[in-house]
Amino acid sequence: MNKPIVAIPLGDPAGIGPEIVVKALAGSEARAAARCLVVGDRNVVENAYRITGVPLKTHITEDPARGEYSDGVLALYPVDNVDMARLPIGEIDGMCGRAACEYIAKAIELASASQVDAVATPPINKESLKAGGVDFIGHTEIFGALTGTPDPLTMFEVRGMRVFFLTRHVSLRKACDMVTKERIVDYVGRCSAALKKLGVESGTMAIAGLNPHSGEHGLFGDEELRAVYPAVEELRTMGYDVTGPIGADSVFHLALQGRFNSVLSLYHDQGHIATKTLDFERTIAVTGGMPILRTSVDHGTAMDIAGKNLASAVSMTEAIVLAAKYSPHYRK
């Protein structure tokens, strides 16, 4: 009973979320790490039992502390909001987008009230959110708005390697323009604070180069000279253990070997390619800078295989385990 309680919103009911959630909770790894509380529609959960054939039974609770977390039982906080007669498995649907958002909102509410220790999320679908009139494009924006966090930090972790992102969903041209000394200084400070909340107190953060070979001192690209080197110099005078720029063709390998406690990737795909090529299923997103801890799978709703019992639960299991690992430090 000392294990942390991890809330798991069910995800998009028409996607693979319900399947991977019940598969993860039918296994032993997630249960060994945490008390897992699913937040979602009971009928959707039990439909996922039928699709996957997992031998689970449902225990309904609106008090996370009193949930039944024994083997063979799925503890469920009920949010019944799906018309099963028209649930379109494998298709974009506004009802499912709204339902997914409501599950997330309830999980955030529970975490904000300290009734659960962390939230681990399966995938949702941006098109379904839009079809349902939800004014957010994804998880990060929902969590940011509902926790009052203007700019949540995204960190990926895979096999102990941690990667932060200076920019997220913008064009590559705009991402290059956003590489400024001021932004790097701000982000390294925020990333360092996020690491401390996770219990990572020591080690060097590396900043990846933007251009090939970090620009070779201005031979091809001057972003490193204009932004990265000056930022590193200022950060060191402020007391931060930071280095860079280090060429993106080597910095992630060095981090994987333990040379750095984290890497600041300067644009979205730079870090995504490095982590997902290493181990796609075990690359887990951690959203930091918020008053609550959230981990997530880093794959989509896979509508093409939804309802066919083909989806792997490895990433969902890893997200739960990572939430359990970091939640005691985060809550302190």
Q: What φ, ψ does residue 167 adopt, rounded to 5°? A: -130, 160
Determine the length of the chain.
Answer: 332
Phi/psi for 31 (5° steps) reads -65, -30
Q: At residue 213, does pLDDT exceed 70?
A: yes
- The predicted-structure confidence for 224-240, as pLDDT tens digits, reads as follows 888 999 999 999 999 99
CB 266 within 8 A of CB 167: yes
Distance CA 35, CA 31 (A): 6
- Tally the C-alpha atoms within 13 A of residue 83's C-alpha that lie toward its C-beta: 6
58 band by pLDDT with thresholds 50, 70 and 90: very high
Q: What is the strand order of the sheet 57-60 is part of? A: 57-60, 73-78, 35-40, 5-9, 118-121, 294-297, 284-288, 153-158, 161-165, 262-265, 205-208, 242-246
> What is the average pLDDT value for the chain, to the nearest integer?
93
Report d(CA 295, CA 285) in Å as an integer.
5
Mean pLDDT over 176-193 rounds to 93
Among 57-66, 100-109, 283-292, the minimum mean pLDDT is found in: 283-292
Instruction: Compare 7 and 298 and report the one with higher pLDDT.
Output: 7
In angstroms, the CA 311 to CA 299 distance is 11
Q: Please write down the HEC assignment for all residues of 130-186.
A: HHCCCCCCCHHHHHHHHHCCCCCEEEEEECCEEEEECCCCCCHHHHHHCCCHHHHHH
Q: Measured between alpha carbons, how far is 14 from 4 in angstroms, rounded to an integer?
A: 29
DSSP assignment, residue 313? Answer: -
The pLDDT of residue 226 is 87
What is the rounded distance in angstroms from the CA atom of residue 87 to the CA atom of residue 133? 18
Sign of CA dihedral 278, 125, 8, 196: positive
Q: Give yes or no for residue 1 having a pLDDT over 80.
A: no
Contacts of 277 (CB under 8 A, 6+ apart): none
Where does the pLDDT of residue 241 fall: very low under 50, low under 70, confident under 90, or very high at 90 and above? very high
Please report which residue ranges of the chain form alpha helices under DSSP H: 17-26, 29-33, 42-52, 94-112, 126-131, 139-147, 172-177, 181-197, 223, 229-237, 251-256, 268-278, 314-331
| Residue 208 dihedral angles phi and psi, to the nearest 5° | -70, 150
What element of type H or E holds 119?
Answer: strand 118-121
Look at residue 135 and tell me whether its pLDDT is greater than 70.
Answer: yes
The whole model's pTM is what?
0.89
Residue 139 pLDDT class (50, 70, 90 cuts): confident
